[in-house]
Amino acid sequence: MNLPALYNLKFIDSIKNTKRPFLDTQGYGLTINPVDDPSQPHWRVIGIHHLTGAESHGQHNLFVDILDEHGERINNSQVVVRNYDLPPATLTLDKPANEPGTNTQMYFNDTLSIVVKWDGLPSELAEGFHTRHEDDDPPGSTRGHHSYYIVFQKSVGVTEHPPVTPKPPLTPPDASELEAELLATGQPLIQDLNREAALFKAAQAHGLGQRLTGEYELMHEGQTYVAQIFELGLVYAQVGQWDQVKVVDTSAREVTAFGPTLLWDNHITGFFGNRSQYWEWHLKGTVPNLGWIDFKDEVVNQNPVLREDGWVFKANKVYKMPRSADQPAAPAHAPITMPAMPPEPKPPTDPQLPKSIFAQARNGHFYLNDQPGRFMGVNIRGLVHYGQDPHYFQHAPVDHRTIQLQGAKDMNVRLVRVFLAHKDATPQEIERRLRDTLTLMKANFPDMYLLPALTNLYKDVPFYVQGDEKFYESQSPGGKEILNHTFYRSGYEENYLPFVRHIVTAFKDEPQIFAWEIGNELKAENAPELLVNFMTSVAAKIKAWDPNHMVTTGMISTRHAFMEGQTQLRDKLYGSNQIDFVTIHPYNGNEPPHPVENDSDLARKFKKPLIVEEAGFDRNHYSNRPEKTRGDLAFWFGEGASCYMPWGFVKTPHDNNDGDLNVGMTGPLHGDFNQLYELHRQCGQLLGTADIIADVRSIIAQLGLAARDAAPAPFGPSVVDGFDFPVGKPNAGGYYVAAGLVDPAYHANLGYWHSGEDWNGVRGQDTDLGDPVFAVAHGLVTTAYFFPTWGNIVLIEHILPTGEKLWSQYAHLKERLVEKGDIVRRGDLIGTIGKGADDRYIAHLHFEIRRHNLPASKWWKNTPDDRAQILRAYAHPTNFINNFRPR
């Protein structure tokens, strides 16, 4: 998108004709601070444009240009960008003419300001650039993915004011007609609120309220008027006549931006999302004469709490919504409705208030998206730390996150348990790792949940809170170092509790968090009452900080925590309203001589779900682990368990140190992995079928044990049913095309005609290294090979419904996750984004759609004939996919 060509002349014309910069950024919180003496030469802002979704394509950048007084770019000039109190960054304008001179990325918590530093001239300061606004033009411009284009121009200043010819006197306009027009219409004014200005003073003098809800400019009978709207009225004045401010008190009028027939007395709750989602899903088209532009501002005026909550509706709060006077009080499409209530209702305190977006426990069952069910899980304890720990996880790069989650998804897993704390990471760093993991899951695994354990009993692995080393000691000669009594009495308040508070408050509104686990296998040696008091106290604090998520213990069993036979303590723990479900870790099927870890009686007694949170059979004692596991699955689901989670799940090509040699389900180490995988996959599929849940024990006992890949596929590749994008599936969310088919800029820079598209992550540089790459449609892998320069290439043959064939090529891959002859389906993981042979490129995916069957590594030169042949042999990838989306 050539922003300079599209906008620079528009910005220059705006300055010439209106003496004001061009701004289409109303509502985004941007301000422009003038220089001390604008009559002298200086750098002024002549335009700021908020990129549309089509222009931004999911980026989150601030693009910048600097022009001289004649409107020409000043190459190699510089700007200084500041982000809060971080060190300033100097950017140089060094980009080609068909793109902005420079740019910088904005991350979610950034707020940027920018000035020009060139020629020793003062500069206007533009500030308030951030990406935290809600979706306004999805999918390309969404919360966290907003971009701006700002242009500065050299102003030579004004030393003499030109003479002004007085205008002939005009007949004063009819006041009632003018006031009606001011109240009904107007265009956003680009000035910031000045509370010392005449309009604001007049509004306060007449008691119209402190909150400015709108500001407008209106042409009426040849004159320009400025109006400001407050809660109880409107103030206005003719431009230049600030001593003649008029006041319109609307508190007694039936005048709103929507007309007299609109009422805001519908009260809804149970919805989680932003304003545009509520509009699209529940309100659009249901209220006559109400449009998105009107709704998006007035809903905030009616519900000021939205500002405090970051413009997001919370499932456990009540909001006022509109209806027309001739509609019933309950809107037909509200997710959950309540009877009409008095103004400013208080949120209900009923603990059973539905929160459908979050996982819940009710009457002994889990509810996901308000639907009861049972499901499979896995333990991938180090998932959030992959690529971050060069010591313990030196063989677990960040792209293993994708491989592991894809393997779990294909096994029909819904829940992934992780160990969240790390002895070498601050709470802020842990927050970043967890957020990165959740971002990956939202884009590619939206139906899966995380269960984070907040610390660990044992010190032999690094999954405990930074600073807590001193609370670990051995309880017996030669025994493992575990958390001591000092920790449970008060030591946990030093590091653990601040860490927990930081994390749970940061993610309290994240629906893909299943629950918070107080810790892994915690026990206070021979002091069960100390442990119970610790558990219930911490759980209560978590609930206070985060009312949306469940809390559990993460215990092996009450027996393991020295409560065997102590009914009162067991009941105090799991009878607590702060603990939502029961966990057990019954290895080796609880068979003798192993101890029996079984608290299912407590789950039944208190009507709480039961999770078999860790399970597995020791390969040193069991040669038939798949058969034993099948019996274990049947037993525990027959006992009423809601979820079963094998320990040590690893689906990566090599051992990444996150499995378990003896009792794990670790693909690179265990010969029975494929059988176990297929067994769990079938069980997960079975549990997803609601009508057989009641008879689950007998059906599980009949499941087969054949490995999924042991038998050849019964059919050939399917005819395609549509095409998705190869990254950010299905709609390329978070990615953009950096170079297109026969891109002239690519040809000018590199001397070759480009035969496809280069896809980059919007965060830039190598931040997309290892990101997942997906098959765009059903097909047959015809090539999976490493080539010089290209690196790894996967080529897939597709059959269209017409019988015609075409091919998709995926190049520069870091890892190939399919082989020649594999049959794939749309959305299957086939590799990860790489940097080509010898890491020669910045990480990106080169992607092609070919109409002809060409060699996988075919490349073209720079002649006109080459360009013509490419256009005959290849399709434009993005256009092709958009024209053949799944129905």
| Predicted pLDDT at 224 | 66
**Tens digit of pLDDT for each residue in 36-60?**
888 889 999 999 999 988 888 888 8
> Of 221, 249, 277, which closes a domain?
249
Whether residue 167 is contained in a domain is answered as no
CATH of the domain at 631: 3.20.20.80
Closest residue by Cα to residue 848 from 878, 805, 814: 878
Query: In this structure, what token pair is assigned to residue 62?
Result: 């601030």
Q: Are 304 and 434 in a shared domain?
A: no
Digit-coded pLDDT (tens) for 282-326: 787 778 777 777 787 788 888 888 877 767 777 667 788 888 766
393 and 508 inside one domain: yes
Report if residue 39 sits inside a domain: yes
Same structural domain, 128 and 191: no
Is 844 within the bounds of a domain? yes
Among 631, 589, 632, 580, smallest CA distance to 610 is for 580
Q: Give 646's pLDDT tier (boundaries 50, 70, 90).
A: very high
- Spatial strand order of the sheet with 42-50 comes to 22-23, 42-50, 148-155, 61-67, 102-105
Q: Does some domain include residue 353?
A: no
Q: Look over the chain and give the mean of its residue pLDDT values, rounded to a whole number.
A: 83
Per the structure block, which two tokens stand in for 162?
A: 């030109």
Q: Is the domain of 554 the same as that of 672?
A: yes
Tokens 């002298």, located at residue = 40
What is the token pair recorded at 194?
């000045």
Q: Are residues 598 and 692 part of one domain? A: yes
What number is the average pLDDT over the span 213-228? Answer: 64
Answer yes or no: is pLDDT of 154 > 70.
yes
**Total domain count for the chain?**
5
pLDDT tens-digit profile of 61-75? 999 999 998 889 999
Give yes or no: residues 696 and 831 share one domain: no
Stronger pLDDT, 315 or 631, i.e. the higher one: 631
| d(C-alpha 546, C-alpha 578), whole Å | 12
Q: Quick one: tokens of 142? A: 């969404």
Note whether residue 804 is domain-resident.
Answer: yes
CB 347: neighbour CB atoms within 10 A?
A: 13
Same domain as 181, residue 150: no
CA neighbor of 279 nearest in space, from 268, 266, 263, 295: 295
Looking at the fold, whether 189 and 274 belong to one and the same domain comes out as no
Cα–Cα distance for residue pair 625/432, rounded to 1 Å = 38
Q: How far apart are CA 63 and CA 564, in angstroms?
A: 65
241 pLDDT above the threshold of 80: no
In a domain, 626, yes or no: yes
- Asked, for residue 629, whether it belongs to a domain, the answer is yes
- In whole angstroms, what is the distance from residue 866 CA to residue 861 CA? 6
631-652 exposure pattern, b = at least 16 Cβ within 10 A, e = fewer: ebbbbbbeeebbbbbbbbbbbb
CA distance 125 to 148: 15
The pLDDT score that the predictor gives to residue 715 is 40
Is 635 strand, coil or helix?
helix
Do 554 and 609 lie in one domain? The reply is yes
- Asked if residue 352 belongs to a domain, the reply is no
Per-residue model confidence (pLDDT) at position 821: 85
CB 675 within 8 A of CB 686: no
Q: Has residue 158 got a pLDDT over 80?
A: no
On the question of pLDDT at 708 being above 60, the answer is: no
Domain encompassing residue 229: 175-249
Same domain, 692 and 766: no
Same domain membership, residue 233 and residue 285? no
More confident residue, 390 or 713: 390
Q: Last residue of some domain: 306, 338, 370?
A: 338
Question: Does residue 632 have a pLDDT over 90?
Answer: yes
| Strands 212-220 and 187-188, sheet pairing | antiparallel
Same domain flag for 240 and 382 = no
What CATH number is given to the structural domain containing 137?
A: 2.60.40
* Residue that is last in its domain, among 249, 279, 301: 249
Token pair belonging to 880:
């092709």
Encoded amino acid at 563, one letter: M
Give the list of residues 6+ apart from residue 820 with CB closer than 8 angstroms, or none.
781, 782, 783, 784, 785
